[in-house]
Amino acid sequence: MGNGASVVEKTARLSIAVIGAGYWGPNLARNFRTGPAWHLAAICDLDIDRARRVADSVGGVPVTDDLHDVLSDPLIDAVAIATPARTHHAIVMAALEAGKHVIVEKPLADSGVAGREMVERAGEMGLVLMADHTYCYTPAVLKIRELIADGFLGDILFVDSVRINLGLIQPDVDVFWDLAPHDLSIMDFVLPGGLRTTSVAAHGADPLRTGKACIGYLAMPLAGGAVAHVHANWLSPTKIRQMVIGGTKRTLVWDDLNPQQRLSVYDRGVDIEQVSKGSAADARAAHISYRLGDTWSPALPEGEALAGVAAEFAAAIREGRSARTGGEAGLRVLAVLEAANRSLERGGAPEPLEPLEPLAVELVSGGVVR
């Protein structure tokens, strides 16, 4: 397509290539093949047989084992990258230099420095760089975001997330970098102002002597005295995908493995009235009350999250805007993961997190603003 200043007709289908045909690539290929906004132009993988298998599974598309074939094709508007995180920077930068819009699976990069360079270059080129934070496009998470934005839960008091299962132990990353990006990206998506924390405390364990943490816990203070906690585990015999978000008005529980009732909203909590004069013990006894109200389960539409990802990517390109889970969302997740690494090295001590400085450029319709 050339560069970000090109105008994309709103009725035109965009052409995309999927780079990486391993674990996640087939899912991307399937959704871009069926998405009404997209034409799946190619699948690229160093293992050409693997690329052919994915191509055959979606009805047949051209395959290549040479990235240059994809990036030099002027008819390809965008690429979807599903390769290991350590390769993201080089592939993304090459794609941006070739004038392609980019969506890249989580995490955005293997370091904050690399991620920031990618985001800044996309802005300079007027191109969309989107993080594939897939969970943010599930009906449940979209509803959570809506309820919090509408003030239905009140002020947020805590977020407690559990993501545990048996395997897969990854060869190149620990459990924090493998599982926690899901929870962190969800928090960043649903919390007002995104995931803003001043420090990260990480505790990890490697009881199997794999050389990396297989069990991990993250704790992060949030605005207003709230706290967020993430439990990630590769060694649990049971699979749990649950997030509890407590507010001053109501508490929400998201159980992703319960299709009959993924969301439950509890009108239950603690009410603290203004403390009057008297002893501290009397004040605590007199002014703390427990609210035991109804439980409500909102109806949710059915739909595959990746279809929403594909639709948002197309909309961002056509409208010349940043995606809802754009590069800066990916940078906020990376900042927490890197702080977790430093905290682990210090035995779990809280690691200060510096606020991300605003980027020098910002994508706008028809180009960039500086």
CATH of the domain at 174: 3.30.360.10
Q: Which residue has the tokens 């906004």?
A: 37
Asked if residue 295 and residue 183 are part of one domain, the reply reads yes
Out of 278, 302, 326, a domain closes at: 302
pLDDT of residue 158: 97
Residue 143: its pLDDT value, please? 97
Name the residue among 328, 31, 314, 48 with its Cα closest to residue 185.
328
- Report yes or no on 4 lying in a domain: no
Rg for the chain, CA atoms, rounded: 22
Q: What is the pLDDT of residue 286?
A: 55
pTM of the model: 0.89
List Cβ neighbours of 260 (8 Å cut-off, separation of 6 or more): none
Q: Which domain holds residue 34?
A: 14-133+306-369
Identity of the residue numbered 276: S
Q: Are residues 70 and 170 in the same domain?
A: no
> Number of C-alpha atoms within 13 angstroms, CB side, residue 267?
6
Q: What does the alpha-carbon distance between residue 317 and residue 308 come to, in Å, rounded to a whole number?
A: 14
pLDDT at 41: 98
Q: What are the Cα distances from residue 311, in Å, to 7, 132, 303, 318, 319?
A: 18, 12, 12, 11, 12
At residue 337's C-alpha, the angle toward residues 336 and 343, to 5°, is 85
Evaluate whether residue 2 is within a structural domain: no
Where a domain ends, among 244, 274, 302? 302
In this prediction, the residues of the chain whose per-residue pLDDT falls under 50 are 1-7, 275, 360-362, 364-370
**How do 263-272 and 288-296 pair as beta strands?**
antiparallel
